[in-house]
Amino acid sequence: MFFAKYLFHHTLILLGLSILDTCRSFPFCDTFDLPIDIYVENSFHSDIIENEFIITFNHLYKPSTRFNFIKASFDQAGINDNNWSIIQRINEANKYPSDFDVIHLENLSIPLELFVKSVRNHRKIKNITPQRQIVRTLKFVNISESKHDDEQFSQSSFDDINYSDTRRRLLRAIPRQITNVLEADKLWNLGITGTGVKVAVFDTGLSINHKHFKKIKERTNWTNEKTLDDVLGHGTFVAGVIASNRECLGFAPDAELHIFRVFTNKQVSYTSWFLDAFNYAIMKKINILNLSIGGPDFMDTPFVDKVWELTANNVIMVSAIGNDGPLYGTLNNPADQMDVIGVGGIDFDDQIARFSSRGMTTWELPQGYGRVKPDIVTYGAYVRGSNINGGCRVLSGTSVASPVVAGAITLVMSGVLHMGDLINPASMKQALIHSAHRLPNAPIFEQGAGKLDLVRAYHILRSYKPQASLYPNYIDFTECTYMWPYCSQPLYHGSVPIIVNVTILNGMGVTGFINKRPQWHPYSGFNGHYLDVAISYSDILWPWSGWIALHLSVSSLASDWEGIVRGHLSLTVESSSEDEGNTNSTLISELILPIKAKIIPTPPRNKRILWDQFHNLRYPPGYFPRDDLRIKYDPLDWNADHIHTNFREMYQHLRSNGYYLEVLGQPYSCFDAKQYGALLIVDPEEEFFPEEIEKLRKDYFEYGLSLIIFADWYNVDVMQKVKFFDENTRQWWLPVTGGANIPALNDLLVHWNVTLGEQVFEGNFKLGSHEMYYASGTSIIDYPKENFIVLHRDLNNQGWEILNENNKEKKKKSEKATILGMHRDLSNRKTGRFSIYGDSNCLDQAHQQKDCFWMLDALLQFVTTGQVPTFIETEKQSDTVMQSHIENFIVHHFELDRIQLNKPKRLIENQLYKYSKVIDQSSKFVPILECIKIVYEKQMMLNITSEEELPESPKLLLSAHIDENVNDDDKIAESSFGKKFFSEDDRLDNRMNHDQSLLNNWPDSKMAEIFNGNSGKQQKHESSNDVNYRFYFVMILSIFVFIIIFKKLILRRRFPSFIHLRHFR
């Protein structure tokens, strides 16, 4: 036995030396000298096309039928036949029925809202939405040529909003063969090379004559250009990462490539192009679809609905999460959808790439909380892929990481095709999540489940049993940094409930449901009864997924208690399935979500700050413009303005200083002012209910609630100037409001006699010892003379500069602006204190030049204690005029030449009502929203009193109890935390190919270490010496035969077809 092992191991060494010796003579072993200072970044925006609408139907219909439905609905709405037409779409999808049409509409005789409502009333019509143009700019940037924002502003026209930022920096890394890094060769050696899998690449096309590709099954063009080829190179690179078979290898060289050219040479596309192409992909029964682009518009309804339809038809969609990092709240659609595999990027040092977008999702705001995304991360920095004219190039971006995952799952899927419909969008995502390696020091909203592990994912899928799972599969408020921001602030009694949004992945079927209400089980020995849990969840899990939201609060019994609480949530997911005999069966998964949290005594009032989320609006759906008017390459305010997205650094700063922040997603009528030291209102775009204004007055003057407001610019003429311009359609999109809704803020401030102006100011200045930058802010133009402290600075009139930018003789116009105001009534200690600053950009991480967190600290100290900020004292000491009271000093020092300025008025024909929760179409207030009443679940106590009794749980996914009612033989025993998530196939699957069977019984091989040691699961092995002797003898003989064949074929400069590594000319 020992001799057999000895001979076997040395034979392997000889085989390796033989191959290495052969490599020296052939070019496939060469490395490439590639540039490492180039990366690709996707800049994306979508514009509404005037007079064009997409009408979607409930089912697929022929053109004549769709025409009749449209005509009937338009006749009902009173639209003349001469005023509309159907835009003809010439592409491959014309051969098939469709579920939508694009119409051109002119001279609409009735209000648009009434027309849309009338059309939607037709029972065959699902929806009518604007046609959108999608513009993506691929930027191949030399890092050494980066420019700063101030250079961009001074060197380009203000109307040139399509300018692209070039200042992102990437960590350098040596280019490496991505397939080697992810060990794709270990599956290639099993004969798994992508055969039988249909992969769709939605991009810029591909040349049919490119020498890197073996199986270009089909190329289709969905644009208005008459070419199928790629002139930009992005589509070629993406396809190469997935399926190149030479030089820079792809993962699945034998996969069938279906190339969908959906972007023009100018990188323009339309929603309707995607809808047609998606329909065609469904008809072609595509298995995997890579979409390396994305954008912030998760409310492009036809697009989002069609993605759901794609995945419901068993198409596994992989999409780039976005290149807008390191800012949080920058996820792109469709990667942010539950049914899509959203991919982030890392570098070859296993660090989150700076460019990779971060979570959370923002669909759920303001009343909810975002879901975890990305799902997974992989290498996206300095990856080698196919060049447009042959050879290889190196690119970076999540548009690179996305095809890495798409190629990997194509390879994995080709090894488990015999499992049929068990491999679906949910089961594939479950395998990726469960097999991923968690990265240290990266929060869940940056890395998702962790780094892709191709080999482990394959090992999981080949023994997969249908089940549901949760993502994340546990909640631990004590685990930092992975569970940031949940771990960043402990729970306490009286706070706004903490919301945790968990995704349900349903691998049992495209449709499922939670068949009975989830239950909360606190652990008696771990003080679980101190935690109150309210639950809401999706009624239907479709497609392949759903959600469950937890509202966590602390019982009044623990108002003065500190410690750790534990418990778990239990729920049952049910789904119907159809077996091979077309018999319906019911599958059931019983899931458990462990919860662990730290509770502290309720903090003092002066340490509790309430963040106003309710009055923050953003894109989508409306055009809410940027807060800093210099940033022309990013015209939209789309990062949600949340303390865990673009105000994340401010939040961390305040937490480090001992403050506790809570998020208010409801009107002001829904919080108890006596619990908070200050209300923080930053960059509000929404109107204020009259009831809110009155309540805030009462809270301030009677209950001592203090206010801190950070505003932004508002000027109707500037808003007209920064219309969203599309050079291709020559259409304009007017902003809904300014950087902030200053007219609404003036209504709120009426009880303090404070008014903000319409001038827009910008410039650098010094405040105390701090350098400051005022980025497109407003000014205070009226304020009370008593008990009010103001601060002036000389700044540039940026609004005037923008409106006169075409004047060649223009010069910067400097004016004195009142930028800061503070109010305190020394005669009445019961009242709160008030502070307002005219610019929020110094708190906003999105395009921050210089932060003003230090000033926020000073203002918080002022409003909670009454102590005047130190920088005001510094101003006083540096001046020769000394007064006994600082208020009088500030007034006398800064109120010289006070000018009465205009109060801003609301934009005529304001479209804010379309997105507002406060006003209607006539700008009248709607009834104030009712406060959400949270009903907590009944506590189902479990008698668990020690660590030893705590059920164990894997960190990435929970175990599940599977109940297949039709086939009792396949039932899995009732699960607990300690059960494995995926069942080991102790009953040997006869369909498993011979190589895989040998692998499972190969105790001393490196491959066994991969599949058994790395995954932490040891397979069963045969113990018979006779069997082992026969095994080694057969393997040694096979290896020698292989060497002989290999040598002969190398002399012919070919590889045997079952290796599929490369082909040579």
Rounded CA-CA distance 801/156 in Å is 14
Those residues with Cβ within 8 angstroms of residue 433's Cβ, 6 or more apart along the chain or in another chain: 375, 376, 448, 449, 469, 471, 505, 956, 957
* Contact of 241 with 250, CB cutoff 8 Å: yes
DSSP assignment of 648-675 equals: HHHHHHHHHTT-EEEEE-S-GGGS-GGG
Sequence-distant (≥ 6) Cβ neighbours of residue 245 within 8 angstroms: 212, 213, 214, 253, 254, 1060, 1061, 1062, 1063
- 349 has catalytic annotation: no
Q: How many CB atoms lie within 10 A of CB 934?
A: 11
Q: Phi and psi of 84, rounded to 5°?
A: -145, 155
**Helix residue spans in 369-490 (DSSP H):** 398-414, 425-435, 444-447, 454-461
Alpha helices in 313-397 (DSSP H): none
Q: Which of 122, 234, 568, 847 is catalytic?
A: 234
Q: Provide the angle, in degrees to the nearest 10, between the axes of the packed helices 454-461 and 425-435.
A: 130
- Mapped onto helix, strand or coil, the DSSP state of residue 580 is coil
Tell me, yes or no, if 399 is annotated catalytic.
Answer: yes
Asked if residues 344 and 398 have their Cβ atoms less than 8 Å apart, the reply is yes
Residue 1037 vs residues 84, 188, 1029: alpha-carbon distances, Å:
76, 21, 12
Strand ranges for 749-879 from DSSP E = 755-756, 761-767, 770-777, 780-782, 788-797, 814-823, 834-837
Residue 772's beta-bridge partner residues?
765
169 Cβ contact list (under 8 Å, min separation 6): 143, 146, 354
Q: Is the distance from CB of 556 to CB of 436 less than 8 angstroms?
A: no
Contact by Cβ (8 Å): 39, 33: no
Nearest to 388 by CA among 266, 234, 263: 234
The token duo for 320 is 């780039």
Among 681, 609, 577, CA closest to 963: 577
Task: Tell me how long the chain is.
Answer: 1065
Looking only at Cα atoms, what is the longest distance across the chain?
A: 104
Q: Is 422 exposed, middle or buried (0-12, 13-18, 19+ CB in 10 A)?
A: middle
Among positive and negative, which fits the CA dihedral 570, 574, 580, 581? Answer: positive
Distances (CA, A) of 408 to 111, 791, 930: 51, 59, 49
CA atoms within 13 A on the CB side of 757: 22
Q: Where are the beta strands (DSSP E) in 17-124?
A: 38-61, 84-86, 98-105
Q: Catalytic residue among 399, 706, 835, 983, which?
A: 399
Residue 374: closest CA among 440, 287, 436, 446? 446
Question: Do the Cβ atoms of 955 and 438 come closer than 8 Å?
Answer: yes
Q: Which of 99, 101, 203, 453 is catalytic?
A: 203
Rounded Cα distance, 774 and 772, in Å: 7
Q: How many CB atoms lie within 10 A of CB 1036?
A: 16
Quick check: is 488 catalytic? Answer: no
Q: What is residue 918's DSSP assignment?
A: S
C-alpha span between 87 and 89 (Å, rounded): 6
Q: Name the residues annotated as catalytic.
A: 203, 234, 399
